[in-house]
Structure 1
Amino acid sequence: MTLHDARGESLSTEQSAVLAIYEQSLDLFNSLRMDPVAALQPALEMDPDFISGHLLMAGLMLSAIDAQVLPQARDSLAAAAASRHVPAARERSLLAALRPWAEGDMGRSNELLGRHLIDHPRDLFALQLTHMADLVLGQPTLLRDRIGRALAHWSPADPGYGYVLGMHAFGLEECNEYARALQAAEAALDRNPADAWAVHALAHVHEMQGSAEDGIRWLTQGNTHWQQDNMLAVHNWWHLALQYLRAGDIDAVLAVYDRAIAPHAGSMALDLLDGSALLWRLELRGTEVGEARWQALAARWREWARPGWSTFNDTHALLAQIGSGSQEGIQAMASAMAAVPADDAPAPWWRQACATASAMCAFGEGRFGDCAQQLLPLLHHELGYGGSQAQRSLLHLTAMEAARRAGDCAMYEALRSESAARLPAQGDAP
């Protein structure tokens, strides 16, 4: 007897208790609550041949966007392949799609997952995992349109429909469709106020609208479910800090950093990214954040970084070394990035990432004119750098400040005008 999940997908187990645990773990993953890995483990103990369980475990590892966990992902995929159960069509397809990612090729995996979702549009696990990959790979239209491809196969009565709406909301925001993004995110949160991704989508709307007051109100009063017990908490704290920064409340920014973003023993790459991005923005504004903050962040990055896998991660790891003033750390990180063979590079834009690294090093050395000139041609080729619009804006902010410090008034004014022109007119706000 083959069982089916709540969306009708076949799973290779005959134990209803295993299915119930699987659904619980998947829901934790969908809502980004802690800890789906621990929740799933009993199902694999009850049925060691549970293919979908091993695939889910692999995906949970891969969703960390961290090279350190790739070995665990490979182990889970090997267990799925070795199962004595007969795999369902979805399981065969998903196993093939996840293998390249576990070997370090997220781009190829993302392509295979795209085809998998055309055949299995109700595979909520694959949909969310691919959505995350689209973000990391810098594919904003796919953040919107990949969810759009699946929407016709979903109805409001389906379990998990709210999560689909939350993902669509973020994709709409990344394509500058703010009114539709707001509508989709609010519909998702009506279904589940603890949907951290939908909270995150609304935080992005407020950030891109340039509305500090609304952004602060939303994250401190409109919804506080995100503040504890979920893997996106640090990132949403980062969004709150950005709004305080926009409002000019530096004390509040540093308080958020020290309380919720500063590295600790459990910090992973997703958390460290936000630390680098926030401290760098403060430095761009001329704020002395203190040597201790930079050194602690740089030290954690040196423990965690695995150069050559993610352009986005590596650039932020380098920023921490520059901020700390560690010449040894800067040289080690920059050299490791430059040493990645072209055939092994994680993406075709790796050379641009190395150019970005060179520009950031120039900024750290006080060669502001060089930094601005190196960054300028990259600013509209930065999608492959990955991340959201809000995260990629770090490159623009750095180029603008480098131009100002270099005395290049023409470039500074041009980039400042560009930033101002991106903000919607007052009547365009949702």
Structure 2
Amino acid sequence: MKDLQGNRIFQASAEAVDYYNQAVSAFNIYTGDPFSLVGKAVEISPDFAMAHIFKAYLLGLATEPVLNGYAKDTLRHLKTMHLSDREASHLGALDLMLKGEWTAAALVLDIHNCNYPLDIVALQAGHLMDFYRANARNLRDRLARILPYWSGNDNFFKVHNWWHRALYHQELGQENVVLSIYDNQIRHGNSTAALELVDASAMLWRLSLEGVGVGDRWDELADCWQAHADGHSYTFNDWHAIMAYLGAGRDIDVEKNLKDCKNIKPGLESEMQQWTRQTTLPLIEGFIAFWRKDYQTAIEQLYGARFIANSFGGSHAQRDIIDLTLIEASIRAGQPELAQALANERLALKPNSRLNRGFLARSKGRAVSGVH
């Protein structure tokens, strides 16, 4: 029998292992009551050594005198049991920890996880020891040592993390790297999940603002948005769908989505429809105006919208696209004073930003290498 991470389990029934897995999962995300859950596992299978080991860690890592005594009692019981090599390795760490030798215990778990990289109990116990010892380097390196053994394909944040990395490369003017990340990470597999389509739309829009050619990437993205942009479900999605429709030149879809967003019956607004009316419509209309080169209208819609955009979600990084579009509209509209003022806002926060310095230089009529 194995636990959720694939480590072998001995002397335990399926029911006991289920309670054990629940207890470890609760510990992993610091919620619920792992003590009572692992207690049930031990009650069902008294010879379940790994459950006793986990219980001892929970008690000892709590750093409370009474619980520390209970942990020592558990350790004494464990020393009477027949243990596997992995379980015996845990015992060495527990023995040292409960003697107050935290650094030595953490070192044992360093080596332990080299041999058992999927042992999440050892990993988290060691990580807490690193925290208690203020060992910042090992807080990082303990995870780095075993990370290649863990799957990255099922990480729900994988695409969004790559999106954030792409922003750094864009900041450095490495548009080819950004496009490579887009193709190989953000849109690898052509996911139709709305959360990933949002990242894709925002990335292509940012590149387009800088004058980077994105080829037919807009077309594939616009196709995927068809199932999600209905003007009612989540208005943040509609805004990003509009970006894709504009980029793909699908004016019919733009107008349909815009009409759906405006189709709100007076007096019957849901909260989502309030967001649409108050926040999304100014953004959508501003982005449409920008793409169609009506820069003055874009400025009028987006200048005020940027202050209320956090009313419907998204991170600061995601909503930054509003300010980027606004300042680009100001430059293209021939309003250098406004463009300089907006650039100064950004430079006050990030004075060394290539993008921000580029905006300021362009607002003053100067060409900047690497900035379009």
Normalising by structure 2, we get a TM-score of 0.57
Cα deviation, 1:133-191, whole Å, max 9, x if unaligned, reads xxxxxxxxxxxxxxxxxxxxxx975999x99xxxxxxxxxxxxxxxxxxx999897566
Distance 1:224 1:353 in 2: 43
Cα deviation, 1:186-229, whole Å, max 9, x if unaligned, reads 8975664599xxxxxxxxxxxxxxxxxxxxxxxxxx99979543
Counterpart residue type for residue 205 of structure 2: W
Distance 1:257 1:419 in 2: 26
Distance 1:317 1:186 in 2: 43
2:276 aligns with one of 347, 350, 375: 350
**1:312 counterpart residue number:** 236
Report the CA distance shift for 1:184/1:397 in structure 2 as closer, same or farther (over 3 A). Answer: farther
SS of 1:307's equivalent in the other structure is: coil
Do 1:308 and 1:340's aligned partners in 2 also have CA atoms closer than 8 Å? Answer: no
How far residue 424 of structure 1 moved from its aligned partner, in angstroms, is 7.2
Distance 1:360 1:281 in 2: 12
Task: Check if 1:242 corresponds to 2:153.
Answer: no
**1:367 counterpart residue number:** 294
Report the CA distance shift for 1:231/1:403 in structure 2 as closer, same or farther (over 3 A). Answer: same
Q: How does 1:374-393 map to 2 (within 5 A)?
A: 374-393=301-320
How far residue 264 of structure 1 moved from its aligned partner, in angstroms, is 3.7
Do 1:257 and 1:275's aligned partners in 2 also have CA atoms closer than 8 Å? Answer: yes
Q: Between Structure 1 and Structure 2, whose CA radius of gyration is higher?
A: 2
Report the CA distance shift for 1:412/1:424 in structure 2 as closer, same or farther (over 3 A). Answer: closer
**1:16 counterpart residue number:** 16
Report the CA distance shift for 1:401/1:157 in structure 2 as closer, same or farther (over 3 A). Answer: farther
Counterpart residue type for residue 379 of structure 1: R
Q: How does 1:248-327 map to 2 (within 5 A)?
A: 248-262=173-187, 264-290=189-215, 292-327=216-251
Report the CA distance shift for 1:329/1:190 in structure 2 as closer, same or farther (over 3 A). Answer: same
Q: Which runs of 5+ in 1 are unaligned?
A: 1-13, 31-120, 125-154, 164-182, 196-221
Report the CA distance shift for 1:265/1:397 in structure 2 as closer, same or farther (over 3 A). Answer: closer
Task: Check if 1:395 corresponds to 2:322.
Answer: yes
1:329 aligns with one of 253, 271, 274: 253
SS of 1:343's equivalent in the other structure is: coil
Cα deviation, 1:278-307, whole Å, max 9, x if unaligned, reads 0000000011111x2000001001133343
Q: Which runs of 5+ in 2 are unaligned?
A: 1-13, 34-59, 64-119, 125-133, 354-372
Q: How does 1:209-224 map to 2 (within 5 A)?
A: none
SS of 2:211's equivalent in the other structure is: coil
Counterpart residue type for residue 350 of structure 1: T
How far residue 365 of structure 1 moved from its aligned partner, in angstroms, is 1.3
Counterpart residue type for residue 269 of structure 1: A
Cα deviation, 1:352-410, whole Å, max 9, x if unaligned, reads 21111111111121111110111001112221131111111010001111111111112
Q: How does 1:87-106 map to 2 (within 5 A)?
A: none
Do 1:226 and 1:236's aligned partners in 2 also have CA atoms closer than 8 Å? Answer: no
Percent identity at matched positions?
30
Normalising by structure 1, we get a TM-score of 0.50
Report the CA distance shift for 1:327/1:191 in structure 2 as closer, same or farther (over 3 A). Answer: same
Size of the aligned set, in residue pairs, is 249
Between the two structures, name the one with larger relative contact order (CA 8 Å, sep ≥ 6). Answer: 1
Counterpart residue type for residue 329 of structure 1: D
